[in-house]
Amino acid sequence: MESGKLRRAYGEVLAEVDAGGFGPPPDGQLSAEQIVAHLAANDELMVEATEAVLAGSPFAYYDLETIHRPQVDALVGECGGLDGLATLLRATSQKLCTLTDRLGLAAETPVDTHLREGYDLNVDEPLPWGRTLDLHATVHLPKHLSQLRLLRR
């Protein structure tokens, strides 16, 4: 498996973050800082899962968008704003992409996967890890890219 699609999706998100100019979110929605922190925290979970797959260890992956809100808010504070969060996202996404390039046939390893993207995607079953990474590149990252674009002033 190669990371080209994943790298392009991250490139679009990071270009949007670098453009800046975000306004406050609508009630109940994430701010630009929270979106970027969520993506970095999620990357860390995906890195752990990818490392487990490469090591031949069992792993379950949960996209915890609503559950890890305190972690997201803590990351926003720790990074000191959007620039620090963008630096973190660059590092976490680079690590995930590098690991993805190493997967090869291990991309077919089933991983117990739990994903929910509104009404667009609901997964609660084992999926080949490469398929989960593909969903991240084609559904999850574009969803948050759209959210960032809607926050533009």
pLDDT of residue 15: 98
All residue ranges of the chain with pLDDT < 50 are 66
pLDDT of residue 59: 79
Considering the chain, what is the average pLDDT of its residues? 91
pLDDT of residue 67: 53
pLDDT of residue 118: 66
Provide the Cα torsion 65, 68, 72, 73; round to 10°.
120
**Concatenated DSSP letters of 57-122:** ---EEE--TTTTHHHHHHHHHHHTSHHHHHHHHHHHHHHHHHHHHH-GGGGG-EEEEEEEETTTEE
Is 22 in a helix, a strand, or coil?
strand
Q: How far apart are CA 96 and CA 57, in angstroms?
A: 17
pLDDT of residue 44: 92
